[in-house]
């Protein structure tokens, strides 16, 4: 059985693969190479100001986007595939909200709600993030957020951090 899922992609560090935009595009290609994943739609890419913790060093802007996939992976299996893909692109988890070559977040898995130590779906902060909601609304405006009970397109009308992150489609 396959399920529709939504993921967010982000990068603000270059690697031997290239710049952030090339990294997120390459990550889509990598994920689509897995037999358990079919990429259905990909949003435009957005340049987004990095939001950092207080007293943190400034970071380069992010390239962010979202994708809808169809997968036969169970939620934790998909999460592991996302983590593995991040590692392939040089992701190192050093600090919360730190700069990264690739960040892949599992936002939605069908209409499921999961709250476990390993995984929370829907993603707990997706409704507050313009850099997630704007690209997701492009490709899934009618998807109902399982907890909020509201369509993604409606949530994207006035995201809380819009004035902080200033996502701009590129």
Q: Which residues are catalytic?
A: 91, 100, 103, 105
Buried-state track 55-85, b at ≥16 Cβ within 10 A, e below 16: eeeebebbbbbbbbbebebebeebbebbeeb
* Contact (Cβ atoms closer than 8 angstroms) between residue 45 and residue 24: yes
Q: Looking up tokens 């070559």, which residue turns up?
A: 101
Taking only Cα atoms into account, the Rg of the chain, rounded to an integer number of angstroms, comes to 15
CB count in 10 Å sphere of residue 90: 16
Torsion sign over Cα 17, 22, 27, 32: negative
Helix (H, G, I), strand (E, B) or coil at 84: helix
């Amino acid at each position: 059985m396959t399920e529709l899922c939504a993921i967010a992609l982000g990068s603000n560090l270059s690697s031997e693969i290239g710049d952030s935009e090339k990294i997120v595009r390459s990550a889509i290609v990598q994920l689509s190479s897995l037999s358990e994943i079919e990429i259905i739609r990909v949003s435009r890419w957005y340049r987004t100001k990095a939001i950092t913790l207080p007293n943190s060093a400034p970071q380069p802007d992010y390239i962010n986007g979202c994708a809808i996939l169809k997968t036969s992976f169970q939620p934790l299996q998909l999460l592991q595939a996302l983590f593995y893909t991040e590692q392939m692109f040089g992701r190192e988890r050093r600090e919360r909200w730190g700069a990264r070559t690739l960040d892949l977040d599992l936002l939605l898995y069908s209409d499921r709600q999961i709250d476990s130590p390993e995984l929370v779906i829907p993603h707990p902060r997706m409704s507050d993030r313009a850099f997630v909601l704007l690209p997701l609304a492009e490709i899934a405006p009618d998807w109902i957020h399982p907890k909020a009970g509201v369509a993604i397109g409606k949530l994207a009308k006035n995201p809380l951090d819009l004035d902080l992150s200033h996502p701009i489609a590129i």
